[in-house]
Amino acid sequence: MKDPVLEKELTLDRQLCFAVYGASLALNRAYKPLLEPLGLTYPQYLVMMALWEKDGQQVKEIGEMLGLDSGTLSPLLKRLEQAGYVQRKRDSVDERQVTVTLTPAGAALKEQALDVMMSIGRATGCTMQELETLRDRLKSLRGHLTAAKE
């Protein structure tokens, strides 16, 4: 005989993973029209944010910050370089190391990114305090899940 309590819990609308997944899809859809005028995809935007936070990072550092491997990150950086937003330079001592720096055009995008952030903030319908709490809870969840798999 089936347990009705467990049956209820196995529905999509009761799953944390589905709620997070749906929210992630909705966020990506909300970002898309805001980033198009900047010529950026969402993953490229994340790379730019990492560089606006700290310019002149090695590819490995950016990958660690964003949780992306070099196979995913390299094509993103190549497209950003082709767009004129970043410059990649191999280390003269260790050619495996590549440093990424913002160009003046890439640095100038930061000001426009503030509008993106404000638009997303309004779209959420949340107060700043609610957004901060939600962000902190999601970061904590990610930390717990990461620690659990180790």
What integer pLDDT is reported at residue 7 of this predicted model? 77
What integer pLDDT is reported at residue 8 of this predicted model? 78
What integer pLDDT is reported at residue 2 of this predicted model? 76
The tokens describing 138, both together, are 């999601």
Tens of pLDDT, residue by residue over 47-97, are 999 999 999 999 999 999 999 998 999 999 999 999 999 999 988 888 788
Other beta carbons less than 10 A from residue 39's beta carbon: 14
Do 50 and 65 touch, CB atoms closer than 8 A? Answer: yes
In the chain, the percentage of residues whose pLDDT exceeds 90 is 77
What integer pLDDT is reported at residue 93 of this predicted model? 82
Other beta carbons less than 10 A from residue 59's beta carbon: 19
* pTM confidence score: 0.86
Write down the domain spans for the chain.
4-149
Return the CATH number of the domain spanning residue range 4-149.
Answer: 1.10.10.10
Beta partners for residue 86, in sequence order: 102
Q: Sorting pLDDT into bands at 50, 70 and 90, what band is 9?
A: confident
Tens of pLDDT, residue by residue over 88-147, are 998 888 878 899 999 999 999 999 999 999 999 999 999 999 999 999 999 999 999 989
